[in-house]
Chains A and B, each alone.
Chain A
């Protein structure tokens, strides 16, 4: 056996991974060749040095720390149960009519060079809490879609390839500032039952919880869709439990329900039916500009955006991100497409009745709040002042009224830094 080949196989030889005859040939060569023998000796020494690093133990109290973090999180959401049942596609605008059970409808907005997405939602039988949390920067970096992605790559927010290096720098620089701010306002809002005092301790616990980590290993959008669906499922289950409870709603609980029971899949699907944006007389559409990272064409950005709402089989691939295909798919999502070109895309949707835009990351729509008979204004009035202030400082949005929103995607040049949209 030659030296070259021997050296190539030394690791496998040392690990005992070679077939007997091959190992014998190498042993024979080593016997004869001093050079190779030296390499083998050094490799073995290297392996042995490295192996001495084994046995690093987790710090004391580690498991307790995980449990505590979990506990904080479980304040917000119960553990995952059951299979994923609902389609992400169902989660879109105006979908939920004034159903008897209060339903939280959430919208994922891919925004700026980061992502914004629904993290989770929690709803109890006594009120509605919408908790939004941001994701970590290192996970944002996993959901970039470069313009040179292969044509058959599905344009979804789950890390298909790397973005240019300058994007990373920019992201990192912005993120420090962003994160600090978000950590302060991690829990975006709590819409509580009118008869119940806000639980400040709980808020504090939520606010101090670490950022939610969606498993970004695969299909984060699906996982989040699952979570969102899970939230809805729970709401409906709880509503059903209450309506089936012999005592009816607890005393003091301002609950009125005419929900058909049992709430089966068909009923739920009906609640999730998409509605086209209706005209709102006298109201100009509110522009919301979505800026994707450099060189992303408006068409691609729109496709990424749309795919967060589309069912897997109708998601748009890169090759499909033509104006024609996109228009057709977006209409299926009840968006009106006002403009769609490589440079600029404008979509039109309707939001109602409560909208909270948080730090350009998230947009949540709460609909069907008939549970407590509150008006959107009343609900908004319960959002704590700091959150409201923060929201309104960053967004020219009047909370509490139905409105039209235009999603505008523009192509950005490669070198142009991201506009610091939310720096005071």
Chain B
């Protein structure tokens, strides 16, 4: 895993010194990753946007403690995952959460390159996959999201979640096996 690039470090330093414009550049740099992970954990665009915003505000507040030992994005991922899980727990305790009630039905719809039929099927698949991810236990879901959607290395996941590498491996595998069970019907007919 690479450390934080120099240019980015400079943005961080300047943001630390109170330069909001530099911080905004960092936000633009990482907003998609932060939003995406929140979205996949929460399966709600609205909650994901709120969570992503919370993440960056918390990052701004905590920037003084970011020393560049780890990558900025693993640090951001950590905040985002924690915020998303906290939100999800609070939502679940209010009874609002319904597994799989993702508004992710638009996933992939824009891609009509293979024709509308395929696009619709993909969107439908995306919805089902998201629902299956949402149905995973929290500790497995986060790891699957970080690995198979966000593309983090095992070591990075261990750093984000502050758990041992062995735990990352076992949870990822369990998560994938669970998903495989729920998705059997999908990939047999997947386009």
Chain A contacts to B: CB under 8 angstroms: 8, 10-12, 15, 17, 39, 42-43, 45-59, 62-63, 65-67, 69-71, 73-74, 78-83, 136-139, 141-142, 168-169, 171-172, 175-176, 210, 213-217, 223, 226
Contact A54 B176, beta carbon cutoff 8 Å: no
- Lowest 10 CB-CB distances: which A-B pairs, in order? A79-B18, A58-B35, A45-B187, A138-B90, A215-B62, A138-B86, A11-B173, A58-B31, A56-B36, A80-B64
Contact A53 B129, beta carbon cutoff 8 Å: yes
Complex CA distance for A273 and B106, rounded to whole angstroms: 60
Complex CA distance for A129 and B183, rounded to whole angstroms: 56
Contact A59 B35, beta carbon cutoff 8 Å: yes
Contact A53 B53, beta carbon cutoff 8 Å: no
Complex CA distance for A215 and B78, rounded to whole angstroms: 11
Instruction: Check B190 for interface membership: any CB of A closer than 8 A.
Output: yes
Instruction: Tell me which residues across on chain A come within 8 A of B71, comparing CB atoms.
Output: none
Contact A215 B130, beta carbon cutoff 8 Å: no
Complex CA distance for A70 and B179, rounded to whole angstroms: 39
Instruction: Tell me which residues across on chain A come within 8 A of B28, comparing CB atoms.
Output: 63
Output the residue of A66, A215, A217 with the most chain B CB within 10 A. A66
When A11-B173, A42-B187 are in contact, do A51 and B54 touch as well, CB less than 8 Å?
A: no
The B interface, classified by DSSP as helix, strand, loop or mixed, is: helix
Instruction: Tell me which residues across on chain A come within 8 A of B172, comparing CB atoms.
Output: 11
- State which of A57, A78, A81 has its C-beta within 8 Å of the C-beta of B36: A57
B44 to chain A, nearest CB (A): 12
Contact B190 A50, beta carbon cutoff 8 Å: no
Instruction: Tell me which residues across on chain B come within 8 A of A15, comparing CB atoms.
Output: 154
Contact B53 A46, beta carbon cutoff 8 Å: no
Contact B169 A216, beta carbon cutoff 8 Å: no
Instruction: Tell me which residues across on chain B come within 8 A of A169, comparing CB atoms.
Output: 93
Instruction: Check B8 for interface membership: any CB of A closer than 8 A.
Output: no
Complex CA distance for A11 and B149, rounded to whole angstroms: 15
Contact B169 A138, beta carbon cutoff 8 Å: no
Convert B53-69 into 0s and 1s, putting 1 for each residue whose CB lies closer than 8 angstroms to a CB of A.
11011111111110000
Instruction: Tell me which residues across on chain B come within 8 A of A11, comparing CB atoms.
Output: 169, 172-173, 176
B6 to chain A, nearest CB (A): 22
Instruction: Tell me which residues across on chain A come within 8 A of B89, comparing CB atoms.
Output: 138, 141, 168
Contact A59 B45, beta carbon cutoff 8 Å: yes
Contact B187 A46, beta carbon cutoff 8 Å: yes
Contact A62 B31, beta carbon cutoff 8 Å: yes
Instruction: Check B177 for interface membership: any CB of A closer than 8 A.
Output: yes
Instruction: Check B98 for interface membership: any CB of A closer than 8 A.
Output: no
Complex CA distance for A175 and B87, rounded to whole angstroms: 13
Complex CA distance for A118 and B48, rounded to whole angstroms: 27
Chain B contacts to A: CB under 8 angstroms: 15-18, 20, 23-24, 27-28, 31-32, 34-36, 39-40, 45, 49, 52-54, 56-65, 78-79, 82-83, 86-87, 89-90, 93-94, 104, 107-108, 122, 125-126, 129-130, 133, 144, 148-151, 154, 169, 172-173, 176-177, 179-180, 183-184, 186-187, 190
Complex CA distance for A17 and B153, rounded to whole angstroms: 10
Contact B18 A81, beta carbon cutoff 8 Å: yes
Sample of 19 further A-B pairs with CB below 8 A, known A58-B36, A217-B79: A48-B187, A49-B183, A50-B129, A53-B126, A56-B32, A57-B36, A62-B31, A62-B35, A65-B49, A66-B53, A66-B56, A73-B57, A142-B86, A172-B93, A175-B90, A210-B53, A214-B61, A216-B82, A217-B58
Complex CA distance for A262 and B130, rounded to whole angstroms: 60
B61 to chain A, nearest CB (A): 6
Residue of B nearest to A176 (CB): B94
Output the residue of B39, B87, B173 with the most chain A CB within 10 A. B173
Instruction: Tell me which residues across on chain B come within 8 A of A215, comparing CB atoms.
Output: 58-59, 61-62, 65, 79
B176 to chain A, nearest CB (A): 6
- State which of A46, A82, A214 has its C-beta within 8 Å of the C-beta of B176: A46
Complex CA distance for A80 and B60, rounded to whole angstroms: 8
Residue of A nearest to B25 (CB): A63
Complex CA distance for A83 and B65, rounded to whole angstroms: 9
Contact B61 A80, beta carbon cutoff 8 Å: yes
Contact A70 B94, beta carbon cutoff 8 Å: no
- State which of B18, B79, B86, B125 has its C-beta within 8 Å of the C-beta of A49: B125
Output the residue of A42, A46, A210 with the most chain B CB within 10 A. A46
Contact B61 A63, beta carbon cutoff 8 Å: no
Contact A57 B35, beta carbon cutoff 8 Å: yes
Contact A81 B17, beta carbon cutoff 8 Å: yes
Instruction: Tell me which residues across on chain A come within 8 A of B60, comparing CB atoms.
Output: 70, 73, 79
Contact B148 A66, beta carbon cutoff 8 Å: no
Complex CA distance for A62 and B86, rounded to whole angstroms: 21
Instruction: Tell me which residues across on chain B come within 8 A of A81, comparing CB atoms.
Output: 16-18, 64
- In the complex, 29 of the A-B residue pairs with CB atoms within 8 angstroms, ordered by the A residue number, are A10-B173, A11-B172, A42-B180, A43-B176, A46-B179, A49-B187, A52-B129, A53-B104, A53-B133, A54-B36, A54-B150, A56-B36, A56-B40, A59-B45, A59-B49, A62-B35, A66-B27, A66-B31, A66-B56, A69-B53, A70-B23, A79-B18, A138-B90, A141-B86, A176-B94, A213-B54, A213-B57, A213-B61, A216-B82
